[in-house]
Amino acid sequence: MVKIRLHRVGATKKPAYRVVVADSRSPRDGAFIEVIGHYDPLTDPATIVIQQEKALEWLRRGAQPTQTVAALLGKAGISDKLVSASLRKPTDRKTLKKSEKKAAAQAKPAAAPESKPAKASEAKPAEAPESKPAKTSEAKPAKTSESKASKASEAKPAKASDTKPASPS
């Protein structure tokens, strides 16, 4: 695959880049097909010079810009639509299916609120969680001997040996 990417040149701690068209398998600073511009991030504002005709030609041929180069092409004013289309264009079937599923999933939630805006707004106040409940005497029963006895009887099941057999009458 052919990529449009940055090729680093310049001294240590003083980077400068060439915008090149290169095979994706070649290293960052390795072999390239063509130089189509340069980028100097150290100047204020950053210097971006890209030959528009060459960039558009390579994009039409199917060269994929990296994210950084796509941003630089956009700042340079080179056909934003063509650049964004080339970035988003899925090439294999798996990616196509995933993008179709995402589009369908985004369309469903977007359509649901539009069809029921009144009901959604009415339901939100009822579903809203209340603040901490006020502490009242009803919330915590007073500890008495009766409540202790009932808790003890609930906690310990009666044993068969503890119960007295009923007398026959």
Segments in the chain forming alpha helices (H) = 52-61, 67-76, 80-88, 93-115, 117-127, 145-155
Which pLDDT belongs to residue 165? 62
pLDDT in tens, 129-138: 555 555 555 5
Token look-up 């006020």 returns 134
8-state DSSP, 41: T
CB < 8 Å & 24+ apart, contacts of 21-25: 21/58, 21/63, 24/64
Q: What local confidence, expressed as pLDDT, does residue 125 receive?
A: 52
Asked if residue 71 belongs to a domain, the reply is: yes
In-domain check, residue 95: no
Asked if the structure places residue 31 within a domain, the reply is yes
How many domains, the chain? 1
Q: What is the pLDDT of residue 106?
A: 75
By the 8 A CB rule, do 72 and 36 touch?
no
CA nearest to 56, candidates 73, 35, 39: 73
Q: Give the sheet arrangement for strand 14-23, strand by strand.
A: 47-50, 34-40, 14-23, 2-11, 64-65
For residue 144, count other CB atoms closer than 10 A to its CB: 9
With respect to residue 128, please indicate whether it lies within any of the assigned structural domains: no
Check which CATH number belongs to the domain holding 24 and give it: 3.30.1320.10
All residue ranges of the chain with pLDDT < 50 are: 120-121
What does the alpha-carbon distance between residue 61 and residue 58 come to, in Å, rounded to a whole number? Answer: 5
Structure tokens at 151: 């808790």
Distance between CA atoms of residues 88 and 85, nearest Å? 5
Q: Tell me if 102 is assigned to some domain.
A: no
**Domain with 32 in it:** 2-88
Could you report the per-residue pLDDT of 77-87, keeping only the tens digit for each?
A: 886 556 555 55
